[in-house]
Amino acid sequence: MSNTVYNDETTRTVKPDAVDKALALIFLNEALMTEEYEGCAALIKKAKRSGARSREISKLLAGAARRVKRRIDGRG
């Protein structure tokens, strides 16, 4: 997977960096855990641009939903 970057009317293709991907997913997970949902859309876009797969993002979102449900149900 590669991304096209436009810089000063030139086009170049770069491979996503594994560190960028990991950081984007960590930041998304942190935002979900601290319930700072306003920034999640931008973090998801960054994660996708960095090479994260949809299932990786979905896994984080599902985990956050389970945490909220447990708290609402009084189990956590």
Q: What sign results for the dihedral spanned by CA atoms 25, 26, 32, 38?
A: negative
Q: What is the rounded distance in angstroms from the CA atom of residue 36 to the CA atom of residue 22?
A: 19
- 45 closest CA partner among 65, 67, 21: 21
At 7, is the pLDDT very low, low, confident or very high (cuts 50, 70, 90)?
low
pLDDT tens digits, 14-58: 677 889 999 999 999 999 999 999 999 999 999 999 999 999 999
Report residue 1's pLDDT band, with 50, 70 and 90 as the boundaries. Answer: very low
Number of structural domains found in the chain: 1
Per-residue model confidence (pLDDT) at position 76: 62
Domain limits for position 30: 3-72
Which residue did the predictor score with more confidence, 10 or 50? 50
Q: Write down the residue that tokens 């960028």 correspond to.
A: 20
Alpha-carbon distance 70 to 12, whole Å? 46
